Amino acid sequence: MRVAHISDVHLGYRAYSRTDERGVNQREADVLRAFRYALRDALRAEPDLIVITGDLFHSVRPPNSSLVAAYRYLLDLQAQRKGAPLILLAGNHETPRMTESGCILALFNHIPGVVSVYDQITHIELPQIDAAVLCIPSRGVGELEQRILEPLPNYRWNLLLLHGILEGITPFALERPVDRHKIVRDEWDYIALGDWHLYTEVAPNALYAGATEFTSSNLWEEAGKPKGWILYDTATRTHEFRPIPTRKVYDLLPIDAAELTADELNRAIESRAQSIEDFDGAIVRQRIYNLLPELRSRIDGELVRELKMRALHYHLDPRPPRVGFRAGQSASAEASEGEERFTLADEWRMFAQNYPLPPDIDREAFIRLGSAYLEGGSSDAR
Ligand SMILES: [Mn+2]
């Protein structure tokens, strides 16, 4: 059986002030376009089952523009698939705090073949494809501890869907990560995961598809990493990651202004921007460390205005020196404390993203390995 796994679409996400030719927020339009691309690509792959593992919508009450478009896309898709099964799992973003408020996903149950799950852990049986799908929506994560999760033995294929972050996925401490051993088990033919916005293989049979566009709050952390969806084959337990073209996001190498003249600083700003070919229309951040107020006032306003015009969003992010800083102080003397400055990890990431690698080397693994060494940790950081 072939499964198309899409996740974290975040329809209705809006950012920045640009609008498209129809007056729709440009990022909202981008997110819609990524979704339409994913659906069309998935349709071409002719999957037996499509699953969307949460956060189809960015909010409990999405803007009408996105809601109407999503309905139309899914109606059209399901007509072409002749009502083949499609499961919508609710994520934290579209789940209201109050159960009585219902969930926008219920609307989609009226489309042939679509089943949405938003309230509690639910086992969905799909005899037409000889599959059973255990669905754990965002609201179901809280009841996980009291539940025994088991496949249904009378079905050829058993799948598990979860919207939640497994322990060990993010280096940052989470309040309540999901117990990995409870979820990641060999007995499931496929474990389709949502909530984490980066495509991540947890096990050959357990994958985060990642988001379809850049919609998370830690946008810059995701810069340079691909967005897409997953085509999974339950017979071989193998998958293919299918990339989705998105708006470009760049986190430029920070500038250390400590020892720069105004001219040098302005030239650095300009050359960093010129270093990326598709700057126009991109979302870009330029950090400047150790910027004293008198130098800050000499940043070329015309240059910055031009960059802001060309990019969809150009974020010039100046950071003043830490207290006690004196111009001319050597970089290493103060590198020990400040995270406000330009770290070796920053430089490594920027360097490794463009470094030519042999085709059989996984770039993400390569970058992670280097970062783990820099942190002084073990090489199997994740
Ligand atoms: Mn999400």
CATH code at position 173: 3.60.21.10
235 belongs to a structural domain: yes
pLDDT bracket for residue 140 (50, 70, 90): very high
Distance 69 CA to ligand 1 centre (A): 19
370 belongs to a structural domain: yes
Distance 303 CA to ligand 1 centre (A): 35
Distance 88 CA to ligand 1 centre (A): 14
Gap between the Cα atoms of 245 and 233, Å rounded:
23
Q: Would you say 30 and 247 are in contact if contact means Cβ atoms under 8 Å apart?
A: yes
Distance 73 CA to ligand 1 centre (A): 20
Distance 94 CA to ligand 1 centre (A): 9
Question: What count of residues does the chain have?
Answer: 382
Find the mean pLDDT for residues 344-348. Answer: 74
Boundary residue ending a domain (243, 263, 298): 243
Both 51 and 137 in one domain: the answer is yes
Report whether pLDDT(294) > 70: yes
Give me the chain's average pLDDT, please. Answer: 90
Gap between the Cα atoms of 85 and 78, Å rounded:
9
Distance 179 CA to ligand 1 centre (A): 19
Distance 138 CA to ligand 1 centre (A): 11
Both 280 and 375 in one domain: the answer is no
Distance 260 CA to ligand 1 centre (A): 41
Both 202 and 105 in one domain: the answer is yes
Distance 30 CA to ligand 1 centre (A): 16
Q: How many structural domains is the chain composed of?
A: 3
Both 231 and 374 in one domain: the answer is no
Q: What is the pLDDT of residue 78?
A: 98
Q: What is the pLDDT of residue 331?
A: 47
Q: Residue 152: CB partners within 8 Å, gap ≥ 6?
A: 123, 125, 132, 158
Gap between the Cα atoms of 21 and 2, Å rounded:
38
Find the mean pLDDT for residues 173-194. Answer: 92
Q: What is the pLDDT of residue 371?
A: 78
Distance 93 CA to ligand 1 centre (A): 7
73 belongs to a structural domain: yes
Q: What is the pLDDT of residue 239?
A: 98
Both 73 and 130 in one domain: the answer is yes
Both 223 and 269 in one domain: the answer is no
Both 92 and 178 in one domain: the answer is yes
Distance 171 CA to ligand 1 centre (A): 17
Q: What is the pLDDT of residue 322?
A: 79
Distance 154 CA to ligand 1 centre (A): 33
169 belongs to a structural domain: yes
Both 274 and 363 in one domain: the answer is no
332 belongs to a structural domain: yes
Both 275 and 215 in one domain: the answer is no
Boundary residue ending a domain (220, 243, 266): 243
32 belongs to a structural domain: yes
Q: What is the pLDDT of residue 333?
A: 42
Q: How many other C-beta atoms can be found within 10 angstroms of the C-beta atom of residue 156?
A: 12
Distance 302 CA to ligand 1 centre (A): 37
Distance 161 CA to ligand 1 centre (A): 14
Distance 10 CA to ligand 1 centre (A): 7
Boundary residue ending a domain (215, 243, 271): 243
Distance 162 CA to ligand 1 centre (A): 12
The pLDDT tens digits of the residues spanning 181-190 come to 999 999 999 9
Distance 137 CA to ligand 1 centre (A): 12
Q: What is the pLDDT of residue 11?
A: 98
Distance 358 CA to ligand 1 centre (A): 33
Both 209 and 335 in one domain: the answer is no
Q: What is the pLDDT of residue 381?
A: 36
Report whether pLDDT(340) > 70: no
Q: What is the pLDDT of residue 325?
A: 54
Give the dihedral of Cα atoms 44, 56, 218, 37; nearest 10 deg: 20
Both 12 and 159 in one domain: the answer is yes
Report whether pLDDT(52) > 80: yes
Both 327 and 356 in one domain: the answer is no
347 belongs to a structural domain: no
Distance 12 CA to ligand 1 centre (A): 12
Q: What is the pLDDT of residue 196?
A: 96
Distance 119 CA to ligand 1 centre (A): 17
Q: Which of the residue ranges 80-94, 171-185, 257-271 would you say has the lowest mean pLDDT?
A: 171-185
65 belongs to a structural domain: yes
Walk across the sheet containing 249-256 and list its strands.
249-256, 283-289, 313-318
CA dist list (Å): 337 to 171, 292, 332, 375? 20, 19, 10, 14
312 is in which domain, residue-wise?
249-342
